[in-house]
Chain A
Amino acid sequence: MADTPLQAAPQEARAPEVPSVVEVLQDLAKTSVLQVQNYSKLSFHSITNLASGPRYIQDTLDQMDDIGVGSLPIVLLSGFFIGAVMVLQTGTQFERFGQASLTGDIVSLALVRELGPSITGLLVAGRCSSGIASELGSMQVTEQVDAMRAMGTDPSRKLVTPRVLASLITLPLLTTISVFVGLIGGMVASVLSLRINATTFWERAIKILEFSDIMQGFSKTVVFAFILATVGCYQGLNVRGGTQGVGRATTQAVVVSSVLIIVSDTFLTKIALYLADKFF
């Protein structure tokens, strides 16, 4: 009979087998498919949870405060200067052709269709997706998520759905504010740099916009909000490896959500342009 701790665990004494390249690739493929499957399940449940109780309204409001109000300063600041820099970059080109008054048109279209949603999405992803991942990751490594499950609470209802819902509500609002402040920034730059009348700038900026432009921008913000919240939650709830793992998950959340936002932006733009051409 074995009487030492080492003998007590014979499976640990075996020499480790070196896997072949094929086995490594197979494992990698399986792991990737599993991750996509788990992410899809979590994303699906984050929405279907809304259909039945319990609903965590206070948690959703807290998250709206954190994601929405908390992100407001960076969105305002970046929105203003993006609008201004757009005017400086495009205005000088238009001036060469004597069409400086077109600056309002182009800045407005660019902000509403593209820059507003994508820049706001990326900024909020940088701030909130990482925050969500680190918060949930810390809860995961300190067994707080297990404690929640042990007390009969579904973590996807308590932790994921409020964050996803809060993002879906606040990101379109933040984007709207960002676009508005961007137009103000553009107006200030065009008045000071291009000597364009402020009223002319606003009139052209508003007139050029069509319903399809606003819908294009709005649909993007909804998708980006969903991506940044679900990626943050997924990375946080799947942390392995203690505090180092939390750090990795935080970085991964920002990288993955940013890349997904940029990639999805391309496809959404194509779909939106197609639909605008067909229906509007």
Chain B
Amino acid sequence: MEPYPSGLTSTLTDTTQPAIEFKNVRLGFSEGEILRGVTFSAQDRETVILLGETGTGKTLLLKLASGLLRPDSGSIQVLGKDISGMTESELLEIRRQIGFVFQEGALFDSLTVGENVAYRLHEDGVAEEEIEPRVKEVLRFVELAHTVDSLPSDLSGGMRRRVSIARALIGRPPIVLYDSPTGGLDPITSQTIISLILRLRDVYGVTALLATHRLQDGFALANFHFDPQSKKVRRDSSPEAARVAPTRFLVLRAGKIYFEGTPDELMKSPDPYLQRFLI
């Protein structure tokens, strides 16, 4: 597995420790309690697929993991640090270790694609001569190098998601959170986005939480792998592939983890609720 081009990989020193860990997390709003004691963890380099109906709190879990929301109770550990009691300024530092791909991209609409991707580097005070090649590099990775001077409004929905992935990738984070990256996209574009997530996982070894209501996205991540030698995505369901890039499903229901297991366990589950996802 290759490190990021700069040589930066996970900042997690103890790899037996989970990269993300939720312990009995509860969160409610005026409409009622949405998360009712969620406990799960994501190991270093693991991809956890958060599956559930709309409104079950998948996006909330991602926002909690990045410190954009605070839990009412429970604890959240990210890269070995408890973020649930951190101040906003402490959280800003943690967030620099996390890439967040928002559902609709959330690109800055008054900035060009290049400026959007370079945003974090400008914030970090990186030298201009270093910024340009890094922006070109990540835009090449998402196959959008030609859009560097375009505005987000000139791009299609799928292209905006890819730019959002490039923007999340530019900071070389060890953790990437994807909020419904294929939501509302056609099957071909969805496939392109999933291939990109696969490459990011298999080339750079990032830990990922991916919220989706599309089961096929999860199975694609579990059963396909990117081969850096041939530079192609191949089907590989072998135990060895699963060990190198493990994928796990969490099914959310009524504010709790309803199911947690491997793709195989999900497929074989006789539970009628889970069966509804498999249809």
Question: A161 vs B276: C-alpha distance in the bound complex, in angstroms?
Answer: 50
Known contacts A8-B273, A11-B32; is A143 also within 8 Å of B104 by CB?
yes
Question: A9 vs B273: C-alpha distance in the bound complex, in angstroms?
Answer: 13
For residue A142, which residues in chain B have a CB less than 8 angstroms away from its CB? 104, 106, 109
Stretch of B93-101, B129-137, B216-224 with 4 or more beta carbons under 8 angstroms from chain A: B93-101
Q: Is the interface of B mostly helix, strand, loop or mixed?
A: mixed
Q: Is B120 an interface residue (CB 8 A)?
A: yes
Known contacts A142-B106, A143-B102, A149-B68; is A154 also within 8 Å of B92 by CB?
yes
Question: A3 vs B63: C-alpha distance in the bound complex, in angstroms?
Answer: 28
Question: A106 vs B128: C-alpha distance in the bound complex, in angstroms?
Answer: 57
Q: Per-residue CB proximity of A153-173 to B under 8 Å, as 1/0?
A: 110000000000000000000
Residues 213-231 of A at the B interface (beta carbon under 8 Å): none
Question: A9 vs B57: C-alpha distance in the bound complex, in angstroms?
Answer: 12
Q: Is A54 an interface residue (CB 8 A)?
A: yes
For residue A114, which residues in chain B have a CB less than 8 angstroms away from its CB? none
Q: Per-residue CB proximity of B239-266 to A under 8 Å, as 1/0?
A: 0000000000000011000000000000
Known contacts A150-B68, A151-B119, A154-B92; is A1 also within 8 Å of B272 by CB?
yes
Expressed in whole angstroms, the minimum distance between the Cβ of B255 and any Cβ of chain A is: 8
Task: Let me know if B106 and A9 touch, CB within 8 A.
Answer: no
Q: Per-residue CB proximity of A1-45 to B under 8 Å, as 1/0?
A: 111010011110000000000000000000000000000000000
Q: Is B88 an interface residue (CB 8 A)?
A: yes
Q: Is B229 an interface residue (CB 8 A)?
A: no
Expressed in whole angstroms, the minimum distance between the Cβ of B270 and any Cβ of chain A is: 11
Question: A152 vs B94: C-alpha distance in the bound complex, in angstroms?
Answer: 8
Task: Let me know if A146 and B95 touch, CB within 8 A.
Answer: no
Partner of B66, one of A1, A10, A150: A150
Q: Could you tell me how many residues of chain B have their Cβ less than 8 Å away from some Cβ of chain A?
A: 33
Q: Most chain-B Cβ atoms within 10 A of its Cβ — which of A8, A10, A143, A150? A: A150
Q: Is B72 an interface residue (CB 8 A)?
A: no
Task: Let me know if A150 and B108 touch, CB within 8 A.
Answer: no
Known contacts A144-B108, A144-B109, A146-B106; is A9 also within 8 Å of B55 by CB?
yes
For residue B88, which residues in chain A have a CB less than 8 angstroms away from its CB? 154
Task: Let me know if A151 and B96 touch, CB within 8 A.
Answer: yes
Expressed in whole angstroms, the minimum distance between the Cβ of B4 and any Cβ of chain A is: 17
7 tightest A-B CB contacts, nearest first: A143-B106, A147-B106, A150-B100, A152-B96, A3-B272, A152-B95, A152-B92
Interface residues of A (CB under 8 A from B): 1-3, 5, 8-11, 54, 139, 142-144, 146-147, 149-154
